[in-house]
């Protein structure tokens, strides 16, 4: 520990995943992570700052260069005791044969704890024994991290046995796939490696948890604002006899869809930045449902609530569902030409997305003078689909470890709903329905109350998701 802030030097052999561990623990995607050994040449420290205060720091280090020679020198000078590292650094300063060893031992000599990272997909080697013995002889608090980069565990017990002789604690930690919950667990393990460090690390863990709670609260607010913007959005245009009905409808529909896409994209970007993914785009898996267009048939097939649930939802909201017919992208019926009117209720909503109901015409209808309005969408399913997409995106973002660069994902199969809301209980769906009804009725008092209730429900869902209790 240096200047009261816990610091850990992340050390190990070249190309074992040290930089990925640092990036993930510090939530910093600016850490250079490559598959090539020897990329880290000098130590670089990455502080974790919460509410403007540095709470912990992690130092990325070069890999060991000459561990056998370094160990031989340290053993020959063990009688120098606590000053053994300072003596080694002073003796070998400027010696190219020990350049990397001096660099990685410097933060440890200054008081940093040790996180020793190994690639668990390979067997233990003799050179590893030298590295582990060097770290044991430093006397610093130390943890061994088995970074199973390839999910290969055949050498796991061999590594654990070797670590029992040299380290205060051992943790299996995949830096490329670690979740928030796994990062917290690792920090808790760090708190147990040295009694003197425990109070400071307990404060770090509390700060991490409170910071995450606040980020979840902001995320819930972002989602509620997105829902309100999307569900109340409309486009208005002048309509004259000389205008082409087909072209006007097509242009207005395209403008409407683009605007909704923009609102949703902005919300997702805010969530991404909130969880500190600032450089890499956290590419969605190839077959993610989020790669489907919001208005596509596949999106409405896999997301949102079931037809039976939709009947209940539409019946409760009553006239808020009633609307005219029109065919949006991919044959989805939203009833967006509101001038037609009519209360169709549960029977209409039960047909769900993708069902063509009518080829309604604009010409000859009473559209309020020379104005025609597209939107807002009078289909409560739209709310549940937007919610599902936001929650799926949140789950993707928080579980994309900062040390990760890409990963595969299975394709969608069957017809089962893959979102969250179809699995919510009726009380939770009622909160959504109350919020939707308040928006449609433009009741500000009810909207504020319903929004706060939905926000609290979303915060609970986000917390469960971050703790690995999805759906």
Tens digits of residue pLDDT in 260-319: 999 999 999 999 999 887 655 566 667 788 889 999 988 998 999 988 888 887 665 543
Q: Considering only the top CATH level, what class is 7-196?
A: alpha beta
Give the Cα separation of 434 and 442 in Å (integer).
Answer: 12
pLDDT of residue 142 exceeding 70: yes
Burial of 149 (0-12, 13-18, 19+ CB in 10 A): buried
- Cα separation of 470 and 397, whole Å? 14
Q: Helices (DSSP H) in 56-197: which residue ranges?
A: 67-76, 84-92, 99-109, 126-138, 156-164, 180-191
Q: What is the pLDDT of residues 47-83, one digit of tens each?
A: 999 988 999 999 999 999 999 999 999 999 877 666 8
Burial category of 174 from C-beta neighbours within 10 Å (exposed 0-12, middle 13-18, buried 19 and up): buried
Contact 128, 158 (CB under 8 A): no
Instruction: Give 79-107 pLDDT, tens digit per residue.
Output: 766 688 999 999 999 999 999 999 999 99
118 bridge partner residues:
146
- Give the residue range(s) of CATH 3.40.50.300 domains in the chain: 7-196
pLDDT tens for 356-368 read: 322 333 333 334 4
Range of lowest pLDDT (80-84, 90-94, 145-149, 185-189): 80-84
The bridge status of strand 142-147 relative to strand 113-119 is: parallel
- Please answer whether residues 338 and 373 qualify as being in contact, where contact means their C-beta atoms are separated by less than 8 angstroms: yes
Helix (H, G, I), strand (E, B) or coil at 44: strand
The pLDDT, as a whole number, for residue 385 is: 95
Q: Quick check: helix, strand or coil at residue 334?
A: coil
Instruction: Name beta bridge partners: 48.
Output: 56
CA distance 57 to 47: 4
Percent of the chain having pLDDT more than 70? 77
pTM over 0.85: no
* Contact (CB, 8 A) for 182 and 173: yes
């Amino acid at each position: 520990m240096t200047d009261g802030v816990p610091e850990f030097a992340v050390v190990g052999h070249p190309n074992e995943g040290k930089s990925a561990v640092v990036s993930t623990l510090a939530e910093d995607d600016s850490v250079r992570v490559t598959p090539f050994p020897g990329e880290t040449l000098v130590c670089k420290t990455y502080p974790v700052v919460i509410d403007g205060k540095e709470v912990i720091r992690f130092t990325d280090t070069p890999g060991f260069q000459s561990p056998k020679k370094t160990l031989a020198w340290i053993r020959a000078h063990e009688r120098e005791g606590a000053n053994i590292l300072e003596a080694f650094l002073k003796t070998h300063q400027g010696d190219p044969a020990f350049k990397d060893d001096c660099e990685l031992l410097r933060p440890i000599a200054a008081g940093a704890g040790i996180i020793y990272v190994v690639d668990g997909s390979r067997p233990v080697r003799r050179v590893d024994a030298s590295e582990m013995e060097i770290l044991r002889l430093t006397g610093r608090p130390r943890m061994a991290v088995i970074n199973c980069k390839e999910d290969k565990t055949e050498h796991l017990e061999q590594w654990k046995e070797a670590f029992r002789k040299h380290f205060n604690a051992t943790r299996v930690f995949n830096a490329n796939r670690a979740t928030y919950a796994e990062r917290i667990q690792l920090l808790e393990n760090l708190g147990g490696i040295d009694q003197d460090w425990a109070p400071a690390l307990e404060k770090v863990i509390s700060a991490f948890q409170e910071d995450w709670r606040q980020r979840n609260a902001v995320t819930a607010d972002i989602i509620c604002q997105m829902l309100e913007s999307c569900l109340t959005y409309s486009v208005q245009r002048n309509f004259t006899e000389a205008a082409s009905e087909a072209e006007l409808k097509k242009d207005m529909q395209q403008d409407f869809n683009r605007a909704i896409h923009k609102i949703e994209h902005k919300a997702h970007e805010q969530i991404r930045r909130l969880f500190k993914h600032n450089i890499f785009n956290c590419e969605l898996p190839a077959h993610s449902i989020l790669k489907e267009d919001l208005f596509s048939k596949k999106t409405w097939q896999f997301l949102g609530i079931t037809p039976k649930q939709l009947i209940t939802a539409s019946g409760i909201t009553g006239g808020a569902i009633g609307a005219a017919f029109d065919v949006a992208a991919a044959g989805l019926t939203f009833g967006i030409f509101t001038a037609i009117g009519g209360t169709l209720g549960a029977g209409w909503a039960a047909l769900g997305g993708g069902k063509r109901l009518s080829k309604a015409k604009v010409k000859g209808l009473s559209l309020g003078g020379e104005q025609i309005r597209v939107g807002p969408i009078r289909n409560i399913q739209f709310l549940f689909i937007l919610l599902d997409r936001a929650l799926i995106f949140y789950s993707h973002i928080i579980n994309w470890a900062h040390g990760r660069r890409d990963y595969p994902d299975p394709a969608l199969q069957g017809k089962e709903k893959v979102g969250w809301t179809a699995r919510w209980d009726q009380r939770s769906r009622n909160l959504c329905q109350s919020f939707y009804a308040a928006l449609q009725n433009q009741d500000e008092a009810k909207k504020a109350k319903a929004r706060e209730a939905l926000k609290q429900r979303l915060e609970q869902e986000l917390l469960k998701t971050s703790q690995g209790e999805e759906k």
